[in-house]
Structure 1
Amino acid sequence: MSAPTVLITGTSSGIGLEIAVGAARAGWRTVATLRDPARAGPLRAAAEAAGVADLIEVRRLDVVDQASVTACVADVVAAHGRLDAVVNNAGAGHVGTLEQETVEDVRAVMEVNFFGVLHVTRAALPHLRAARGRLLTVTSVGGVIGQPFNEAYCAAKFAVEGFMESLAPLAATHGVSVTVLEPGAVASEFVANVGIDPEAAIAAAGVYGPALRAYLTRSATAFAAAQSAADAAAVVVATLTDPEPAPRVQTSPAARRFVAVKLADTDGLGVAALTAGWLREPPV
């Protein structure tokens, strides 16, 4: 039999790049997609270094453009005859609070992080059903625990988690497994791509300035001890190849401990105490 085919979104850098290389190493014919193929240089270099360039093909796919998604999935199936797995990885970080941004800002976050997943999943499901394949979606611990100054981002990730949890039993009736993967802090370009100037953001935050300063200080500490993109991707690849993948997988012990607060928190008080502490400036 020919190698199984997996389509991965958001592979220009970070976790997505590492998943693509890792999947190819594991023997998958890997379709690595990104919005701008001109940015595929680091991916191609990593594939060459790993000796898997012949198993990775780069294709354009913009998750917020339904026509782009539909065309890409159709082209992959036409080229390879089947689609065995999809890894929804594309996403964008966002820091902000509702009073200080527009509804359009929030919609943009939802388009990338939720509707992008929906577009890819909808296009792929008939083919995954035919292959009795698997659907993996990289969400976040922010899809389990809401976090201050991450309202729109967490709302999108919560939506993805609810969508996939609801889809999983139905997909399973046709042999398709559905898994969400929840990274915590990961050392990648994802954080840099949020694109805020901390001091400017604090100055513009008005009454929320002190809370934002405390939050950003805490975030810097968390990302100083972040999991590497390669380690997070290794968990995704292991799930991709697992004969019986779990519906929910955290990519690190830290992520597991973090989401456990919510999953055992029936009255919400544990989460409230945890995140409130992020907004208090440490004593001098």
Structure 2
Amino acid sequence: MTTPSTGTTKTVLITGTSSGIGLAAAVAAAGAGWLAVATMRDTGRADALLKAAEEAGVRDLVQVKQLDVTDADSVAACVAEVVAEHGHLDAVVNNAGAGFVGTIEQHGMEKLREVMEVNFFGVAELTRAVLPHLRASGGRVITVTSVGGVVGQPFNESYCAAKFAVEGFMEALAPVAASAGVQVAVVEPGAVSSEFVNNIELDVPALLTAAGPYAPALRGYIDHAMRSFGSDTAQTPQEAAAPVVEALTAETMPFRIQTSDWARDFVGRKLTDLDGSAVQTETTAWLG
């Protein structure tokens, strides 16, 4: 993929690429001809990415850089380095994030702030930093959110709050950015069979012990979630990343992109559920 004006390879910065959707998106973007600047908080975890890039024959188009989206200095330094090295930045994929299961009465405000810091403020900080460069290139911002950014899900108040905030932020930003030549989109996966679930580091017995009066409902939710991530509707990271790369290369991106038929149906039910009763009926049933 080259820029029409200069003939140089287009550059995309992708966060959270040590595993899952981010890893798959970096390899697929390189396969589509982009120079993928694959960032992660700990570059010591880059082996899986580099192996996948090597196997795909795109190792020369994948560049690993350290970036912690919760550290403003790290964000500024990484963006400046990319632009200094390549002369331009054509797209950013906000993918880094962290899952969390729990309810506010039990885990308190500190954990809520921690989840918001990674999943919302980190996205906002990086987006702010790259916008001047994307205005210069006529680029685009693509943010991987979740169906949990549209549908609130039990025991995911903190995670869904952050993802709802990202969706609202990007929906509000999109027309403003478009006025300056920058396209904005959100990508909404459903269940993805990846390291994401493992990264939540659920200690189920401990959670249930601490859940008090919410323990029966939490047990029901965990059983539902494990079935969902192990079901036929769960996508591979490669399947979920494919729409990200399609958005990179499309002439015009839609604002909201679901990654599967299941995600489209799930999000669609929410967007037409004016009084919220359909969603509440569905998610309440998850609790057993």
Partner residue in 2 for 1:78: 84
1:198 aligned partner: 204
Q: CA deviation at 1:274?
A: 1.0
| 1:20-31 alignment, distance < 5 Å | 20-31=26-37
Give SS of 2:190's match.
coil
Q: What is the aligned counterpart of 1:273 among 265, 281, 286?
A: 281
Q: What CA distance in whole angstroms lies between the structure 1 residues aligned with 2:265 and 2:194?
A: 21
Partner residue in 2 for 1:54 = 60
Q: Partner of 2:69: helix, strand, or coil? A: coil
**Counterpart pick for 1:244 among 249, 252, 267:** 252
Structure-to-structure mapping, 1:140-179, within 5 angstroms: 140-179=146-185
Instruction: Provide Cα deviations, 1:224-279, integer angstroms capped at 9, x if missing partner.
Output: 12110010011111111111110000001111111111101111111111111111
Within the alignment, does 1:234 sit opposite 2:251 as a pair?
no
In 2, Cα distance between the equivalents of 1:237 and 1:111?
26
2-structure distance, mates of 1:70, 1:165 = 24
Letter of the structure 1 residue corresponding to residue 167 of structure 2: E
Deviations 1:21-75 (Å, cap 9, x if unpaired)? 0000000011000001111010111111011010111000000000000000011
2:3 corresponds in structure 1 to: none
> Within 2, Cα distance between the matches of 1:70 and 1:189?
28
Q: Name the SS for the 2:286 alignment partner.
A: helix
Pick from 88, 99, 111 the counterpart of residue 94 of structure 2.
88
Question: Distance in 1 between the 2:240 and 2:213 partners?
Answer: 37
CA distance in 1, matches of 2:93, 2:167: 14
- TM (norm. structure 1) is 0.98
Residue in 2 aligned with 1:182?
A: 188
Q: 1:255 corresponds to which residue?
A: 263
Give the corresponding residue for 1:117.
Answer: 123
2:181 aligns to what SS in structure 1? coil
Structure 2 residue corresponding to 1:3, chosen from 5, 9, 15: 9
Show CA shifts across 1:80-103 (max 9, x none). Answer: 110000000000000000110121
Q: May I ask how many residue pairs the two structures share in their alignment? A: 280
The CA RMSD over aligned residues, in Å, is 0.7
Q: State the secondary structure of the residue aligned to 2:101.
A: coil
Q: Distance in 1 between matches of 2:106 and 2:230?
A: 28
> 2:216 matched to 1:210?
yes
Amino acid aligned to 2:35: R
* Secondary structure of 1:135 counterpart: strand
Q: SS of the counterpart of 1:121?
A: helix
TM-score (norm 2): 0.96
Match of residue 264, structure 1, among 251, 254, 272: 272
Q: Compute the displacement of 1:174 (Å).
A: 1.1
Displacement of 1:196 in angstroms is 1.3
Q: Is 1:68 aligned with 2:71?
A: no
After superposition, give the CA deviation of every residue in 1:106-162 in whole Å (9 maximum; x if it has no partner). 100000000010111000000001101010000000000001100000000000000
AA paired with 1:243? E
Shift of 1:220: 1.0
Matches of 1:255 and 1:51, distance apart in 2: 31
State the shift of 1:203 in Å. Answer: 2.1
Runs of 4+ in 1 over 3 A off after TM superposition: none
Gap runs ≥5 in structure 2: 1-6
Paired with 1:2 and 1:230, the residues of 2 have a C-alpha distance of: 27
Percent identical: 62
Taking the aligned partners of 1:157 and 1:220, their CA distance within structure 2 comes to 21
Q: One-letter code of the match for 1:224?
A: G
